[in-house]
Chain A
């Protein structure tokens, strides 16, 4: 491979990098206050549906066999 084509491929790589950065720079951003508030709201609104957070009563826990009484 000649020196020229090595230089050309570096150029192509650099052009792609600039193109990608232009794309990422153009992203529409919302304010952190809004983003953070919405994350907080999601957590709080779904808290009651989160078994690892609320705890699971053994009667509803599929991983825990219910204690049964054996009548002899």
Chain B
């Protein structure tokens, strides 16, 4: 038998082993564990603020850790930092490339980043000496579009790309520290674990991967979706991962049981999930869809308990502030809305 054939057989055998090992610990289901609790009552959130100012589709937003400021990116070629309480624009940063797809706020509040079809991640210093916001670094090496970026600190950022890889960068030197390769399709989204030791990526190969940042390895791969994964997030305690896909469903995968525990789906929902964010207790899952709505799910009972209807076009991004006080949605209708 040739070596290729041997390797193929070994790969198939290992895949069967993984399937069997996952089944072996499947002594129950999340439905059973949650059988004794009642579905949360109808959740009715109201729009408290509308952030107006972008002139084109909004593609991404990210809260600052202070739960007050947030940054949004639009294909009008601007990054805007908003005070969500006063609705004032703290900064309006013109971008070199208007084809932006993602933005991020550093945990310190000092930096923001963005990127898109320019294949680069640009880092901006909000706290420069003369008060002007300037490009601090341009991280270039990806051979595909930048789909998502998230800061670990002021000196490190992780990016995901249409070139099927994720990269850990040293912002100071502008170099790649680690390339995380393994996905067989465009990487669409990433999220960092609460302890900053791991990150997860969702891709167009329909899988989500858990990566150990310092070991530079892929620990686990989760399948089950029937189309591209567009959105991904950690359950607040860091032990589970939630994904949103073009197959119109969201799924929750437990990291320690190494398998899917539940799917959030409804026969009435037939359009793709674009974005998602859990509430701070994890009990609510807010997910944005192509049909202009955000559906609110009871994460333990997998039932829809609310809808945020207010945008006139696709909801492209969603985020819950760190203190859990509000949810922000961004849309192709050029507006951001703050709800609670």
Q: Is B26 an interface residue (CB 8 A)?
A: yes
Q: Is B333 an interface residue (CB 8 A)?
A: no
Q: Is B27 an interface residue (CB 8 A)?
A: yes
Contacting pair A24 B219 (CB below 8 A): yes
Please classify the interface of chain A as helix (H, G, I), strand (E, B), loop, or mixed, using the class held by over half of its residues: helix
Expressed in whole angstroms, the Cα–Cα distance for A49 and B320 within the complex equals: 14
Assuming the A-B contacts A31-B27, A31-B257, A52-B327, are A37 and B33 also in contact, with contact meaning beta carbons closer than 8 angstroms in the complex?
A: yes
Expressed in whole angstroms, the Cα–Cα distance for A24 and B323 within the complex equals: 35
Chain A, residue nearest B33 (CB)? A36
A residues near B256, Cβ cutoff 8 Å: 29-30, 35
* 38-64 of chain A: CB within 8 A of chain B: 38-40, 42-44, 46-47, 49-53, 56, 61-64
Q: Is B40 an interface residue (CB 8 A)?
A: yes
Q: Which of B8, B68, B182, B257 contacts A30 (CB 8 A)?
A: B257
Residues of chain B at interface, number, CB under 8 A: 65
Contacting pair B7 A42 (CB below 8 A): no
Give per-residue flags for B259-274: 1 if the beta carbon is below 8 A from chain A beta carbons, else 0: 1010000000000000
Contacting pair B284 A50 (CB below 8 A): yes
Q: Is A33 an interface residue (CB 8 A)?
A: yes
Expressed in whole angstroms, the Cα–Cα distance for A69 and B217 within the complex equals: 60
Assuming the A-B contacts A14-B4, A24-B219, are A39 and B282 also in contact, with contact meaning beta carbons closer than 8 angstroms in the complex?
A: yes
Shortest CB–CB separation between residue A27 and chain B, in angstroms?
Answer: 5
Contacting pair B218 A20 (CB below 8 A): yes
Residues of chain A at interface, number, CB under 8 A: 40
B residues near A18, Cβ cutoff 8 Å: 7, 10-11, 14
Give per-residue flags for B284-317: 1 if the beta carbon is below 8 A from chain A beta carbons, else 0: 1010000000000001100000000000000000
Chain B, residue nearest A15 (CB)? B7
Expressed in whole angstroms, the Cα–Cα distance for A67 and B143 within the complex equals: 54
Expressed in whole angstroms, the Cα–Cα distance for A61 and B323 within the complex equals: 12
Contacting pair B27 A38 (CB below 8 A): no
Q: Is A1 an interface residue (CB 8 A)?
A: no
The 3 closest A-B pairs by CB, nearest first: A36-B33, A46-B281, A50-B281
B interface list, Cβ under 8 A from A = 3-4, 7-8, 10-11, 14-15, 17-18, 21-22, 24-30, 32-34, 37, 40, 43, 45, 48-49, 68, 84-85, 182, 217-221, 235-237, 239-240, 254, 256-259, 261, 279-284, 286, 299-300, 320, 323-327, 338, 340
Q: Known contacts A14-B11, A30-B257; can you find 16 more A-B pairs with CB under 8 A?
A: A14-B8, A18-B14, A24-B219, A29-B22, A29-B25, A31-B27, A32-B28, A35-B254, A35-B256, A42-B236, A42-B282, A46-B282, A50-B280, A52-B320, A52-B327, A56-B325
A interface list, Cβ under 8 A from B = 10-11, 14-15, 17-18, 20-25, 27, 29-40, 42-44, 46-47, 49-53, 56, 61-64
